[in-house]
Amino acid sequence: MPRAKADAGDSDGEKIDFEESMERLEKIVAELESGELSLEDSIARYEEGMKLQRRLTDVLNQAEKRIERLVEKEGGAPTTAAMELSGRESSEGELPL
């Protein structure tokens, strides 16, 4: 079965696969941590990484809103309801774990 794609669009309107975006973000972090980039290149990578992080967070937030759970009401047919995170509240931009 093919896997579903969650896309994070780039600044040119092109769709980028979620996993590819995560890999790119990880590569950017590794490049920044290596200390081998010039200041100008480091700033450019940082800006690219922040854009990716925002888009990836948006994709995750949209996916969370689509998650539903099956609810069976007494004497009725099963229906779906939005899934609630059990007692954990996250700050703006923080991923719920």
The string of DSSP codes covering 38-69 is -HHHHHHHHHHHHHHHHHHHHHHHHHHHH-EE
Q: How confident is the model at residue 3 (pLDDT cuts 50, 70, 90)?
A: very low
Q: Is the pTM of this model over 0.75?
A: no
10 vs 84, more confident = 84
Could you give the C-alpha distances from 91 to 4, 36, 88, 94, 95, in angstroms and in order?
Answer: 28, 34, 10, 5, 8
In the predicted model, what is the mean pLDDT of the chain? 76
* Tokens of residue 83, six digits: 């899934």
Instruction: Give the pLDDT confidence score for residue 54 in this predicted structure.
Output: 96
32-79 pLDDT tens trace: 999 999 999 999 999 999 999 999 999 988 887 777 666 666 667 777
